[in-house]
């Protein structure tokens, strides 16, 4: 059995190489806390997001590297949702006793490489042995970097609703392997009035924007881009591809609203914001029906 301190020592050595990824890190992994020099007059954005074995991935199928990558990329996707740039990350990992040191290192390597792709070093963390399931909680710090963060609360009646890519069927593999839309987000920020990344599913994430903004929305069924994975899944389970696109979640595309059309190469229009609260979907004949949020929700005992 190898101790936690060996793993931490290994992580510390790797992390030391990362501290020069951006000019912010004064002291990285290895003390009680990391120290960052925060750039003057830049807003600090921060969030945490976890992945758990049997919920967000399956350790019997997915490699430790894939798991680490997903854990980091979900957080980078949150940076995209606010149109800010990642600055530093931290990871709290609960390692089951059955996990080998080699796999723990691969997990860390997956996080590290995903962060590096966006100039984001891992500056701290906590590793502990758990009698439960493999759990990876990544905290992300991000900077406004000359832009204004795009919140969920800015959608106005008359705005268009847009999405950056085709949706549905991510469970076939894309949910483990996606590119956080940070570059797109930075280009969209000047026109976007509200934004979110699609993790819970279009129908539910649109509710988040509408609730925060105090507005309603009408989606156009024909305009919603359907991923080929949704079509493939539809053939298997008989649920329509549109239903998959509306409900599956974990697309990690951006859903946003804007007062004028953004670059068509980046996003397609799928509906419009209205003053009346509620979410509807309309067909080609403009027949409206209420859209029930069906995206994925973790259940908590009563």
Q: Does 95 bind a second copy (CB under 8 A)?
A: yes
In angstroms, what is the minimal distance from the CB of 60 to a second copy? 13
Contact with a second copy (CB under 8 A): which of 14, 16, 63, 92?
A: 92
- Using CA atoms, how far apart are residues 299 and 131, in angstroms rounded to an integer? 22
Our CB check for a second copy shows the closer of 1 and 60 to be 1
Residue 204-223 contact track with a second copy, rule CB under 8 A, x = bound: --------x-----------
Our CB check for a second copy shows the closer of 35 and 287 to be 35
Q: Does 135 bind a second copy (CB under 8 A)?
A: yes
Q: Binding to a second copy (CB under 8 A): which residues in 146-205?
A: 149, 151-153, 196-197
- Using CA atoms, how far apart are residues 258 and 272, in angstroms rounded to an integer? 9
CA dist list (Å): 223 to 12, 78, 201, 245, 246: 49, 25, 16, 11, 12
Contact with a second copy (CB under 8 A): which of 36, 189, 192, 224?
A: 36
Q: Does 5 bind a second copy (CB under 8 A)?
A: yes
In angstroms, what is the minimal distance from the CB of 103 to a second copy? 9
Neighbours of 132 (CB within 10 A): 9
- Which is it for strands 254-258 and 135-143: parallel, antiparallel or unpaired? unpaired
Q: Does 37 bind a second copy (CB under 8 A)?
A: yes
How many angstroms from the chain centroid is the CA of residue 129?
A: 26
Residue 115-134 contact track with a second copy, rule CB under 8 A, x = bound: --------xxxxxxxxxxx-
Q: Does 137 bind a second copy (CB under 8 A)?
A: yes
Q: Binding to a second copy (CB under 8 A): which residues in 243-262?
A: none
For residues 210 and 152, the answer to whether their CB atoms sit within 8 Å is no
Residue 46-65 contact track with a second copy, rule CB under 8 A, x = bound: xxxxx-xxxxx---------
Q: Does 301 bind a second copy (CB under 8 A)?
A: yes
- Using CA atoms, how far apart are residues 102 and 63, in angstroms rounded to an integer? 12
Our CB check for a second copy shows the closer of 104 and 219 to be 104
- Give the DSSP H/E element, type plus range, for residue 207: helix 202-213
In angstroms, what is the minimal distance from the CB of 260 to a second copy? 23
In angstroms, what is the minimal distance from the CB of 109 to a second copy? 16
- Which is it for strands 85-96 and 122-130: parallel, antiparallel or unpaired? parallel
């Amino acid at each position: 059995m190898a101790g936690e301190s060996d793993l931490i020592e290994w992580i510390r050595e790797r992390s030391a190489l990362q501290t020069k990824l951006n000019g912010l890190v004064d002291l990285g992994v290895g003390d009680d806390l990391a120290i960052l020099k925060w750039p003057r007059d830049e807003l600090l954005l921060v969030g945490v997001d976890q992945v758990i074995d049997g919920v967000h991935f399956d350790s019997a199928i997915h490699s430790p590297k894939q798991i680490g990558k997903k854990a980091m990329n979900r957080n980078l996707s949150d940076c995209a949702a606010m149109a800010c740039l990642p600055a530093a990350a931290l990871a709290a990992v609960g390692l089951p006793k059955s996990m080998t040191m080699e796999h723990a290192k691969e997990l860390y390597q997956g996080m590290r490489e995903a962060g590096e792709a966006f100039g984001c070093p891992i500056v701290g963390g906590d590793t502990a042995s758990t009698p439960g399931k493999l759990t990876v909680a990544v905290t992300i710090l991000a900077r406004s970097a000359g832009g204004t963060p795009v919140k969920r609360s800015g959608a106005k009646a008359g705005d268009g609703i847009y999405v950056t890519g085709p949706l549905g069927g991510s469970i076939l593999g894309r949910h483990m392997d996606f590119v956080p839309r940070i570059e797109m987000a930075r280009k969209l920020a000047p026109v976007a009035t509200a934004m979110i990344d699609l993790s819970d599913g279009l129908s539910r994430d649109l509710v988040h924007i509408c609730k925060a903004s105090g507005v309603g929305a009408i989606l156009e069924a024909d305009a919603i881009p359907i991923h080929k994975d949704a079509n493939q899944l539809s053939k298997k389970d008989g649920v329509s591809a549109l239903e998959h696109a509306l409900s599956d979640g974990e697309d990690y595309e951006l859903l946003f609203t804007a007062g004028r059309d953004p670059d068509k190469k980046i996003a397609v229009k799928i509906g419009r914001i209205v003053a009346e609260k509620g979410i509807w979907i309309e067909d080609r004949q403009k027949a409206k029906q209420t859209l029930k949020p069906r995206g994925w929700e973790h259940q908590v005992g009563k």
